[in-house]
Amino acid sequence: MKIAQVTPLYEAVPPKLYGGTERVVAHLTDALVDLGHEVTLFASADARTRARLIPVRDQAIRLDPRPLKSDLAAHMTLLATVLDHAGEFDLIHFHTDMIHFPFFARHAGRTVTTLHGRLDLTDLAPVYARWSDFALVSISDDQRRPMPFANWQATVHHGMPAELYEFSPRSEGYLAFLGRISPEKRPDRAIQIATALDRPLKIAAKVDAADTVYWETVIQPMIADNPLVEFVGEISDGQKSAFLGGAEALLFPIDWPEPFGLVMIEAMACGTPVVAFRCGSTPEIIADGLTGFLVDTMDEAIAAAGRAHRLDRAQIRAQFERRFSATAMARRYLDVYANMLARRPFAETLIESPAPTARLRPRLADTIAQRGLRPTPPAGLPEPAADLHFG
């Protein structure tokens, strides 16, 4: 199958430091290539991928040191470039929220859009009601709750390459917080949990400009006055195995409807249990009592963090490999793609493109026979059914 992956331009693919959506797109793209598909990635030029890369900006926006930048202009160029090449693909997979809807309104049936963010913002519902022809994929069932009317095709949980994370059979005795310093991520709760247990806490997180006041007035004073807490700052993928693998537990004390939470499966990949507040996607990701603990109160969180060392780290890693590997994610998306292609009329024309080589799409049966919508993977790869939910 010929597939286009279209990513936001805020971070490199994969990100050099913090970043969720672009990291998922990187791993999905490479996994699809490994499964035998022809994949083209539209991203910034600093992307690292096994797919064909069509660069649309010289570098990702966030770490670009130039002071004057236009996010909107960059993404308009991205979408125009995708449209120029659209006739080359069987299917275009967008990860750009809803910004592509007006550009591709005539071709919605040839696209899949994964929504990576929260959906309870005031202005979102009218957009998804107006452009209801676009097929949507959620990253958790909970993410859908604000918009049950939307054109949902499936829920596909994120996945990561198993080889990227080293399993750690034992911890070094500290608790960990990894992510972003912001009120909804509740690093203040993590500090309180560690303090109550008299346990060291390492915080690896970025501070966005929008959260500077929260950092300076709430979190920084809590760290300065607490010898148990070490602020590490942002870390790269290459540093995560040591950071997460050395932790007795990852604290995930969120206070918002988290659509997924990549850090939870990153911790699981290292064999580290997760103590998560029951909010957003966490009940779908954490197997309570197996890969971590779900809690509702601070007292429960303190107690859970205190007994997290009793969980079997090898079983936690095994659960990650079964449910959250990049290959498992890619195979689930291939099921979504196949369902989309199966609905099209035979001999359907490709998306109109400025290129003069427009051609007719072959019959779907020929496409399946010649290219293979689901190539047979090597023995031992996980089955996709457990975390793929259609409709």
The 10s digit of each residue's pLDDT in 293-331 is 999 999 999 999 999 999 999 999 999 999 999 999 999
Check residues 258 and 18 and name the one with the higher pLDDT.
258
Is the pLDDT reported for residue 358 higher than 70? no
Q: What is the mean pLDDT of the chain?
A: 89
Confidence of residue 203 (pLDDT cuts 50, 70, 90): very high
Structure confidence at residue 19 (pLDDT): 72
Q: Is the pLDDT of residue 373 over 90?
A: no
Write down the pLDDT at residue 390: 52
Task: Output the pTM of the full model.
Answer: 0.85
Q: Out of 8-22, 42-56, 311-325, pick the least confident.
A: 8-22
Three-state SS string over the chain comes to CEEEEECCCCCCCCCCCCCCHHHHHHHHHHHHHHCCCEEEEEEECCCCCCCEEEEEECCCCCCCCCCCCCHHHHHHHHHHHHHHHHHHCCEEEECCCCCCCCCCHHHHHHEEEECCCCCCCCCHHHHHHHCCCCEEEECCCHHHCCCCCCCEEEEECCCECHHHCCCCCCCCCEEEEEEECCCCCCHHHHHHHHHHHCCCEEEEEECCHHHHHHHHHHHHHHHHCCCCEEECCCCCHHHHHHHHHCEEEEEECCCCCCCCCHHHHHHHHCCCCEEEECCCCHHHHCCECCCEEEECCHHHHHHHHHHHHHCCHHHHHHHHHHHCEHHHHHHHHHHHHHHHHHCCCCCCECCCCCCCCCCECCCHHHHHHHCCCCCCCCCCCCCCHHHEEEC
